[in-house]
Amino acid sequence: MDNLQVLDGLRVLVVDDNTDNLELIQFILEQHNVQVTIVTSAHQALNAITLLKPNILICDIGMPIEDGYSLINKIRNLTQQIRQIPAIALTAHVSVEARNLALDKGFSTYLAKPFDPDELIAVTSNLAVEHNVYAVKA
């Protein structure tokens, strides 16, 4: 199975306080038959993640009220199934330090904004393969 095939039917939760970013990510992923759920806050994300049990989380770091670091910390303390979700940190901070901080805080990988759509697809599909998460086919 090639990396792009793993995207077909994959459930991805995207968290960002910027609705333009959410809609762009949703559009890009849906071109590859990804089932995308979008939310605008960490609070909504926690509810969605426990209810929907997505295969992958894509989360903006810089959100008001509660940032992505706080959210990933809470997720990593949930039930076994949920806390192991592969997670992509999205951030405008482009540095080795920002990348390392995201990984240290519990994200699986890091993607700098603005990102190239092909890079988003590559990072998401590679993460699915690395963590052996696939959509359940009926």
Quick: pLDDT tens for 58-86. 999 999 999 999 999 999 998 888 889 99
135 pLDDT band, cuts 50/70/90, is low
What's the distance, Cα to Cα, between the start and end of the chain in Å? Answer: 17
Range of the domain at 116: 5-130
The pTM for the full model equals 0.94
Say if 135 falls within a structural domain. Answer: no
User: Is residue 44 over pLDDT 50?
Assistant: yes
pLDDT at 138 over 50: no
The answer to whether residue 50 is domain-embedded is yes
Assign 137 a pLDDT band (cuts: 50, 70, 90). low
State the total domains in the chain: 1
- Long-range Cβ contact pairs of 42-48 (< 8 A, separation 24 or more): 42/15, 42/66, 42/67, 42/68, 42/70, 42/71, 42/74, 44/15, 45/13, 45/15, 45/71, 46/71, 46/74, 46/75, 48/13
Query: Looking at residue 66, which CATH number applies to its domain?
Result: 3.40.50.2300
Residue 136 lies in a domain: no
Query: What is the average pLDDT across 89-93?
Result: 91
Rounded Cα gap, residues 36 and 34, in angstroms: 6
137 occurs within a structural domain: no
Residues found in the chain:
138
**Percentage of residues in the chain with pLDDT exceeding 90?**
79
Q: For residue 54, is the peptide bond before it cis, meaning its omega torsion is within 30 degrees of 0?
A: no
